Structure 1
Amino acid sequence: MSEVNSAEYAELAQRFRPIFARIAAGAVERERDRTLAREPIRWLKEARFGTLRIPVRHGGFGASLPQLFQLLTELAEADSNLPQALRAHFAFVEDRLNQPDSEDRRQWFSRFIEGELVGSGWSETGSIKLGEVITTVSPAEHGWWLNGEKFYSTGTLYADWIDVYAKRTDNNRDVIALVSTRQEAVERDDDWDGFGQRLTGSGTTRFRQAQVAQPHVYDFSERFRYQTAFYQHVLLATLAGIGRAVNRDAAQGVALRKRIYSHGNARLVKQDVQVLQVVGQISSWAWAVDATVQRATHSLQQAFDAAQDGADEARIHAANVLAEVESARAQAIAVELVTRAASELFNALGASDTRVSKSLDRHWRNARTVASHNPVIYKLRNVGDWEVNGNDPTFIWQIGNGE
């Protein structure tokens, strides 16, 4: 039996489904008014949603990776902004899980059990050369000073901490600095102006001599090895959730629709065979994406297990390659089918369903925005190169100006 269909998963999911329902109830209004999801984030914090992967012995829920991503899919069905807003948090938790037990790790677990969350500060824009990092951490008397500016800083508007990609000034090594948002030296702007995923808490974040505690700077080379696939899986779960939401809205919209066309096939839309075919197609696409994404999470679990079991390097490397390849395959399927479903939705409905008040266009906008984060064309090239030539996929990549 799949662990996401088990009694254990049902019990875990039931803890959060009432919260997901409350989140879904306000999703259209938040989208229409561009209201940040601060209250839904608070509900999730109070329910300790951010501790899903933390072991039970440390106060968390001890969820497996397939269980985590299935829950993120359910959350995305309610509001697709929220899994992406939590993306950096779950990645940092995963990184701590892959590190040896220590007082530092236990302190982070305790913070998360208290409801604290981590946001993202990796990407820099402007005249940045490919691979260049201009955000810096410099040694200080009691820790570090952090200076720089980040964009696409997803989740930071909701976060207590920010996971910042920076360069040390003393040895030029790339590092991750965890900086508290509870200081005036950290400035967060809600200036993300994308046409989708508008409530992910992204935008510009500036650090002006922000204080970082001595233990909270980590060498980037020590990050968990399947991190790229992990980050991608959060987006995959988001796409799968959008697919579910499209299916939900198509079925409900058709069931409730009263107006018909004179050249239709029935006296009620819900009995029109062509409209039913459209809904059936959407349902099948959403189901296929859900199944694909869930299947791929098991290779991610294998990568985690290989590291925890002390496997030899060959097995660990093979597990990480498979996790990356399967996440890329899943992305290709999810991007195509969810965006098609979000467009096909309107063939089942009518002109009245294009009204801004219903915000049904958000599904396509959100799916297309999520799909644009990691270009699928390069993922497919990686898969093809692995299949034909046996070459490893790209594990770490950067973005910046070319020559």
Structure 2
Amino acid sequence: MRHRESAWGSGPSEGYERLASRFRPTFRRIREGAVQRELDRKLLHEEIGWLKAAGFGAVRIPREEGGAGAALPELFHLLIELAEADSNLPQALRIHFGFVERILGLPDSPLRRRWLQRLADGDIVGNALTEIGEAKVGSYSTRLTAEEERLRLRGVKFYSTGTIYSDWIVVGATADDDSLVTAIVPASAEGVIIADDWTGFGQTLTGSGTTTFVGTPVDGDEVLARDTYAKYATAFAQMVHLATLAGIARAAARDVAEQVAERRRTYSHASASRAAEDPQVLQVVGRVRSQAYAAGAIVLKAAEAVQRACDAQSSGDPDLQDTANVEAEIETAQAQTIVARLTLDASASVFDALGASATVRTKGMDRYWRNARTIASHNPLIYKERIVGDYAVNGTRPPFAWQTGLATE
């Protein structure tokens, strides 16, 4: 094994290497085309297909139900490896894996069994939750109404990450009784319009654009109440972003080491005739790699807290559940405030080691900072730092719902 591929620390379990070996050939295949896809803005339909064929979307499904039975720290470590190959993919699958957690937490029922089978068969779930425009915080303008003895969806969503690649879409909506519900519809259903109009400067291939529902029919058996979310759902969702950031840092560390090793040009005022022997350049490479290592280690530590919250959900002890959920929320917030900054600094510092030639677009080195900045803009750091501080000083419980919209006043 080459040095730059080792010394990242052991996996989160004794069986992790065996689990990861199943997916690493696919990850390598994805990595090979990452730069060209970015330059061409080629969507990830083919790569999602490779992951589906490998059973990646079912990695959390129990073995007896047709999945890989991975624990949460194993899932997040796999997402770090996938993000190292292409950071668009973990984000595109974020809602899918969150939905898997929701289904796993349901009591035995026809719906749970139906969805476990679909997920084990490789179906991918996308999202249509966030709204822009006049939607208020904590509400949906999208409506699920009964029309002529049929439920139908009408509304417009944005930030529909991953939906363009999905088989099913989970849609946040307001029902006729004004309750908030989740409707699940096939991506190919009547009245579903998915637009690839995401214009952000980073994570450009996640498909985070507009989804419109024009009288889309909904099966009454495919509607979930709001209280069916996993209690640790927000911590889980943040962990996917953190794993993505750690993977970006690792990819930047890998690329800067490879390019310094191959670099032949030097400066008149450099400290050595070759970059690979220049102590100042090596210091930059070492710092970037150390930042990537620290980011990954922090993510895996926070993953343990989310696993404890997951385990507590089935304990039947409300106090244990509450404590575990609060701790998971705080630990992921603490991790976010540091992992984001480690990755942003690492992805910017690579240019100090490589010089102006690294800014050539065809090398794709800029995508690491752009992607990290985009991911780090989710669930703003300034609020998370305040929440952590308020918890540490005053014991204030963290909020468990993150939504955007107009203030309700």
TM-score range, shorter chain: over 0.9
State the alpha-carbon separation in 2 of the partners of residues 96 and 266 from structure 1: 58
Given that residues 19 and 43 in structure 1 are in contact (C-alpha distance below 8 angstroms), is that contact kept between their aligned partners in structure 2?
A: yes
Which residue matches 2:53? Answer: 46
**1:3 CA drift (Å):** 8.5
Mark the runs of 5 or more structure 2 residues left unpaired by the alignment.
1-8
Which residue matches 2:6? Answer: none
Q: Secondary structure at the match of 1:363?
A: helix
Task: Please point out which of 291, 304, 315 is paired with 2:320.
Answer: 315
Given that residues 3 and 66 in structure 1 are in contact (C-alpha distance below 8 angstroms), is that contact kept between their aligned partners in structure 2?
A: no
Which residue matches 2:364? Answer: 359
State the alpha-carbon separation in 1 of the partners of residues 110 and 251 from structure 2: 42
Which residue matches 2:238? Answer: 232
Which residue matches 2:193? Answer: 187
Give the stretch that moved more between structures: 196-205 or 220-229. 220-229
State the alpha-carbon separation in 1 of the partners of residues 187 and 134 from structure 2: 26
Equivalent runs, 1:12-161 vs 2, <5 Å? 12-140=19-147, 143-161=150-168
Distance 1:142 1:105, change over 3 A: farther
Q: Percent same amino acid among aligned pairs?
A: 52
Mark the runs of 5 or more structure 1 residues left unpaired by the alignment.
none
Given that residues 159 and 209 in structure 2 are in contact (C-alpha distance below 8 angstroms), is that contact kept between their aligned partners in structure 1?
A: yes
Equivalent runs, 1:290-329 vs 2, <5 Å? 290-310=296-316, 312-329=317-334
What is the root-mean-square deviation in Å for CA atoms of aligned residues?
A: 1.3
**1:143 CA drift (Å):** 4.9
Amino acid at match of 1:289: A
State the alpha-carbon separation in 1 of the partners of residues 401 and 150 from structure 2: 28
Task: Please point out which of 199, 205, 228 is paired with 1:222.
Answer: 228
Which residue matches 1:350? Answer: 355
Amino acid at match of 1:241: G
Amino acid at match of 2:140: V
State the alpha-carbon separation in 2 of the partners of residues 262 and 281 from structure 1: 24
1:112-163 per-residue CA deviation (whole Å, 9 max, x = no partner) reads: 1221100011110112233331101112566521110000000000001111
Distance 1:329 1:112, change over 3 A: same
TM-score, normalised by the number of residues in structure 2? 0.96
Give the stretch that moved more between structures: 122-131 or 154-163. 122-131
State the alpha-carbon separation in 2 of the partners of residues 317 and 273 from structure 1: 51
**1:5 CA drift (Å):** 4.6
Task: Please point out which of 275, 278, 291 is paired with 1:272.
Answer: 278
Given that residues 315 and 321 in structure 2 are in contact (C-alpha distance below 8 angstroms), is that contact kept between their aligned partners in structure 1?
A: no
Amino acid at match of 1:390: G
State the alpha-carbon separation in 2 of the partners of residues 168 and 16 from structure 1: 40
Runs of 4+ in 1 over 4 A off after TM superposition: 140-143
Given that residues 385 and 391 in structure 1 are in contact (C-alpha distance below 8 angstroms), is that contact kept between their aligned partners in structure 2?
A: yes
Q: Secondary structure at the match of 2:387?
A: helix
Q: Secondary structure at the match of 2:68?
A: coil
Give the stretch that moved more between structures: 15-24 or 221-230. 221-230
Q: Aligned residue pairs: how many? A: 400
